[in-house]
């Protein structure tokens, strides 16, 4: 290879290397040194955290406890008995875990108020990320502990055969509803067989029959604002392809 070409390639290589070094250095950020393993404010959780002070005082006043958690002490304790084993953590030689009652309190306070994780974290003297983890875990534990009790799978009537057997391999009734543009329920039809498809449920309902024979007494065609040139337009029902 010609010596001049080699020299030019060498110069280009050096320039590219320098540009890459400048780019890399510009992308680097100084590493922040963690000042505390646990912030001193958080270390005082057991002495000054909201659960260990305010919540314990609230247990002396049924009305205020209800306002704070949106449930009574008795319900709180009953719920704790059901989810406690699912949310209990093991202490380590480095730190003590947050107990199940305090975890439940943090989750319920978040659900009752809709406050941010940061707000809950400050008042309970725990980390924001800790609140996020606790809310997710406790909410999941509540679902696991109560789903069978509060949302039991429907059982078919005796001698019903497969009438109520649905595609999820359980038994159910069909609830068919129509909601208007203001989110108000205008039609509710309950009692269709679980084995029926969406279109079959509509076809066999009183609403479907009235829709077919024209006895629904629908409002007259109306002009839509912004589409006056199209003239009066009919009212329509919007549903997915399952109803076709």
Per-chain mean pLDDT for the chain: 86
Predicted confidence at residue 168, as pLDDT, reads 81
Predicted confidence at residue 108, as pLDDT, reads 96
Question: Is residue 14, in this structure, part of any structural domain at all?
Answer: no
Question: Is residue 142, in this structure, part of any structural domain at all?
Answer: yes
Check pLDDT > 90 for residue 198: no
Cα 87–93–94 angle (5° rounding)?
85
Report the number of distinct structural domains present in the chain: 2
The range of the structural domain enclosing residue 238 comes to: 173-243
Question: Is residue 23, in this structure, part of any structural domain at all?
Answer: no
Confidence of residue 42 (pLDDT cuts 50, 70, 90): confident
Predicted confidence at residue 67, as pLDDT, reads 96
Question: Is residue 197, in this structure, part of any structural domain at all?
Answer: yes
- Full-model pTM: 0.60
Q: What is the pLDDT of residues 78-101, one digit of tens each?
A: 999 999 999 999 888 777 889 999
Please indicate, yes or no, whether residues 47 and 146 belong to a single structural domain of this protein: yes
DSSP state letter for 51: I
Please indicate, yes or no, whether residues 145 and 236 belong to a single structural domain of this protein: no
Q: What is the pLDDT of residues 123-181, one digit of tens each?
A: 999 999 999 999 999 999 999 999 988 888 888 888 778 888 888 888 888 888 999 88
Check pLDDT > 90 for residue 74: yes
Distances in Å between the Cα of 100 and the Cα atoms of 51, 107, 223 are 12, 11, 59
Please indicate, yes or no, whether residues 178 and 113 belong to a single structural domain of this protein: no
Please indicate, yes or no, whether residues 116 and 56 belong to a single structural domain of this protein: yes
Is 233:221 a contact under the CB 8 Å cutoff?
yes
Please indicate, yes or no, whether residues 101 and 137 belong to a single structural domain of this protein: yes
Check pLDDT > 80 for residue 8: no
Please indicate, yes or no, whether residues 114 and 45 belong to a single structural domain of this protein: yes
Classified as helix, coil or strand, 197 is coil
Please indicate, yes or no, whether residues 47 and 145 belong to a single structural domain of this protein: yes
Please indicate, yes or no, whether residues 145 and 180 belong to a single structural domain of this protein: no
């Amino acid at each position: 290879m010609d010596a001049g070409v080699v020299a030019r390639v060498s110069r280009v290589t050096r320039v590219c290397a320098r540009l890459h070094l400048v780019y890399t250095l510009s992308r680097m950020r100084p590493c922040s040194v963690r000042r505390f393993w646990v912030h001193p404010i958080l270390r005082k959780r057991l002495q000054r955290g909201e659960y260990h002070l305010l919540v314990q005082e609230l247990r002396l006043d049924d009305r205020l406890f209800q306002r704070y958690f949106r449930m009574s002490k008795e319900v709180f304790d009953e719920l704790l008995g059901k989810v406690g084993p699912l949310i209990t953590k093991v202490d380590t030689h480095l730190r003590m875990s947050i107990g199940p009652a305090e975890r439940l309190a943090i989750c319920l306070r978040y659900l009752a108020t809709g406050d941010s994780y940061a707000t809950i974290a400050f008042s309970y003297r725990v980390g924001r990320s800790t609140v996020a983890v606790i809310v997710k875990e406790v909410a999941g534990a509540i679902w696991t502990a109560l789903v069978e009790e509060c949302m039991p799978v429907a059982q078919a009537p005796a001698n019903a055969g497969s009438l109520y057997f649905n595609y999820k391999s359980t038994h159910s009734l069909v609830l068919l509803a129509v909601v208007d543009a203001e989110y108000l329920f205008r039609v509710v039809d309950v009692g269709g067989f679980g084995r029926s498809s969406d279109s079959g449920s509509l076809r066999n309902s009183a609403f479907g029959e009235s829709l077919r024979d024209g006895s629904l007494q629908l409002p007259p065609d109306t002009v839509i604002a912004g589409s006056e040139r199209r003239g009066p337009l009919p009212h329509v029902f919007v549903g997915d392809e399952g109803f076709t």
